[in-house]
Structure 1
C-alpha cells in the first residue's frame, strides 16, 4: 500500500490536468497582464512552497526526527498535486509515505503530517479572519484577535488532560501514533501563519498584475477561501469552492460579480501552474535522492 502511495503524485497529474481544463482558460484571454508583476507573484508563490518545506523540516527536527532537508522538502513538494484526486486524505497519505523508512514508521508519519495539516488550517482561519474583519469594517485594533484566539485555544488544549485522553483514544483506535508535541505546537502554528501571509502576498501581487487592486488587509481573506477548499470533502482541491469563496471577498472590492469570479478563476489557474513547477521540483529532488541510494 505504501509503495502505491509513493506513485500517487504521478497519478495525480491526470486528475489535476482535468481539473485545470474545467476552468475554461479561454475566459481569461480578454484580461490584460503585466508580465513583470505576474513573474514576481509566481516567484513569490514558488518561494512560499520552499518556506513551507523549510518549516516542515524544522518541525520534524523539533519533534526529535532527524531527516535530511532534501528528503523533507521532497515530501512537501512532490505530493502537491494529489489534492486534485477526489478525497481529502491523499495528500496526507502521500506525504506520509514519502517519509516512511526503517527508522520512522508510516503511522508515525501520518500522525505528524496530520497535525501539520491541522496547524495549517487553524492558522489559515486565524489569518483569514483578519481580512473578514476588515471587510466588516471593524477597528484595526481587533484584527489580531482571531489569530490570538487560535493560539490560546491550542495552548490550552496542549495542557488539557481531557483533550490528551481523547486524542490518545482516537489515535489508538485509528492505529496511529500520537505525536508528543509539547511546546512545539505554538511555534508550528506561528510558522504556518507566516505561510499564509507569504501566500497572500503572492496572490495580492498576482491580482495587481491583472490591474485588480485589492486592499492588502482584505486580501488576507484569501486564506479563508483556501481553507474552505481544503475542508469541503467532495471537491478535488476545493475546485469551485475556493473560487466561489474568493469571488465572495473580491466582490466587496469589485462591483461586477462576473468579473470577480473570472479573477478568482485566474488566480486558481495561476496557482495551478506554480504547483506544476513545484511538483516537477519535488520530482527532481526525489530522483536525485534515489540515485544516491
Structure 2
C-alpha cells in the first residue's frame, strides 16, 4: 500500500493529465456498470443463503447485504459478517447459517475470480500464456474445492471448531451453480466497467475485454485473500495495474485502477443508502434458530 501511495505521488501530474482524458460520459457508464456488478455480487450471496435453507424476502436480503458491505472498508473484513449475523436473528436464521453463507460467498467470489483470471488471462495477449501460465495450475484445485461434497464438509468442520452444530441444511448443486453463474456474470460486467475506463487510453477489442475481465477477477480475489486490507485496498489495485499496464501503459493503468476504486466505493454507498431506506423487516426462514 505504501509503495502504491508513493507511485501515485510521483506520477501525480501525469495522473491528472490522464484523468482529463476520461470523459464524464465514460465515468457515468462505468459507474452504472459498477452498480450492476455490485448487485450481481449480492445475488451470489442470496443464492447461497437460499441454498442453506434461509429465505428472507428478496428486498430485505438486498437491503441487509448492501448496508452491511460498508463494513468492509473497516480493517479486518469481518464487520459485514457480524452485521449479517445480527440481521439473521431478525429473520430467525441461525448465526451459524449466516456465517456459512459469508464463508461460501468469500470462497465463491475468490474461486470464481481466480478461475476467470486463469481461463482468460493466458489467452488475452500474444505473451499472455508466458506471463500467466501459473494460473492454469489453479483450475483443478478450484474445481475440487467448489465441488458440492467438498463445501459442506469444510463448513461442518469449521463449525465444529467454533463449537457449533453442523449445518441443518447443506447447500446443493443447484444453489452452488446459481451462485457461480451470478459470480461469472459479475466478472463480465466488472470487466466491461474497466473496459469503458480503459477505452480512453487505447483500443478495446475482444482480447482486451478478456484481459480486463480476467484481471478484475484476479485482482478482486487477491484483495479478498489479503484480509487486513479494507476492501482489498492497495492489493486489488496493484494487481489490476499490473494486468492493465501492457495495454494502457502504467499511467493509464493507474488512472483506471483509481477511477474504478472510486466508482465502486460510490456504488457501495449509493446501494447502502437505498438499502437503509428500504428498512428490512422480513422474518422468514424455515431454519430453526440455534
SS in 2 for 1:100: helix
User: Is 1:238–2:232 an aligned residue pair?
Assistant: yes
Aligned position for 1:247: 241
Q: How far apart in 1 are the matches of 2:117 and 2:62?
A: 26
Q: For 1:20-35, what aligned pairs fall within 5 Å after superposition? A: 29-30=16-17, 31-32=19-20, 33-35=22-24
Distance 1:53 1:132 in 2: 25
Q: Secondary structure at the match of 1:116?
A: helix
Contact 1:127 1:197 in 2 (8 A): no
Counterpart residue number, 2:188? 197
Contact 2:43 2:179 in 1 (8 A): no
Whether contact under 8 Å (2:30, 2:263) holds in the other structure is: no
Contact 2:68/2:84, CA 8 A, preserved across alignment: yes
Residue 125, structure 1, aligned to residue 127, structure 2: no
TM-score normalised by the chain length of structure 2: 0.76
Task: Mark the runs of 5 or more structure 2 residues left unpaired by the alignment.
Answer: 1-7, 283-290
Query: Are the equivalent residues in 2 in contact too, given 1:130–1:217 (CA < 8 A)?
Result: no
C-alpha distance in 2 between matches for 1:83 and 1:117: 12
Determine the C-alpha separation between the residues in 2 that align with 1:166 and 1:271. 31
Cα pair 2:44 2:178 within 8 Å, conserved: no
Cα distance change, pair 150–48 in 1 and its aligned pair in 2 (3 A) = farther
Aligned to 2:60: 71
Work out the CA distance in 2 between the residues paired with 1:146 and 1:197.
22
Q: Distance in 1 between matches of 2:245 and 2:216?
A: 13
Q: For residues 34 and 211 of structure 1, what CA distance do their matches in structure 2 show?
A: 11
Query: 2:35 corresponds to which residue?
Result: 46
- Counterpart-to-counterpart distance in 2, 1:212 and 1:274: 26
> Relative to structure 1, is the Cα distance of residues 147 and 189 closer, same or farther in structure 2, using a 3 angstrom cutoff?
farther
Matched with 1:261 is 254
- Shift of residue 164, structure 1, vs aligned partner: 5.6
Alpha carbons 2:31, 2:193 under 8 Å: kept: yes
Change (3 A) 1:284 1:107: same
Equivalent of 2:96 in 107, 114, 130: 107
SS of 1:104's equivalent? coil
Q: Counterparts of 1:152 and 1:226 in 2: how far apart (Å)?
A: 19
Aligned-pair Cα RMSD in Å: 3.2
Q: Is the contact between residue 74 and residue 230 of structure 2 (CA under 8 Å) also seen in structure 1?
A: yes
Given that 2:75 and 2:228 are in contact with CA atoms closer than 8 Å, whether structure 1 keeps it comes out as yes
SS at match of 1:119: helix
What's the counterpart of residue 172 of structure 1?
Answer: 160
Give the Cα separation in 1 of the matches to 2:203 and 2:198: 7
Q: CA separation in 2, counterparts of 1:217 and 1:182?
A: 30
The aligned residue for residue 266 of structure 2 is: 273
Could you tell me how far 1:94 is from its partner in structure 2? 2.1
Contact 2:241–2:257, Cα closer than 8 Å, also in 1: yes
> How far apart are the structure 1 equivalents of 2:183 and 2:163?
27
Q: Would the alpha carbon gap of residues 258 and 78 (structure 1) be closer, same or farther in structure 2, given more than 3 Å must change?
A: same
Aligned to 1:152: 143
For residues 253 and 168 of structure 1, the distance between their equivalents in structure 2, rounded to whole angstroms, comes to: 45
**Residue 203 of structure 2 is aligned to residue 217 of structure 1:** no
Aligned length, in residue pairs: 259
Q: Name the CA shift for 1:243/1:148 in 2 (closer, same or farther; >3 Å).
A: closer
Q: Per-residue displacement from partner, 1:72-97 (whole Å, max 9, x unpaired)?
A: 10122112221111112222222332
Conserved 8 A contact 1:154-1:186: no
Give the deviation of 1:258 after TM superposition: 3.9
In the alignment, structure 1 segments of 5+ residues that lack a partner are 1-22
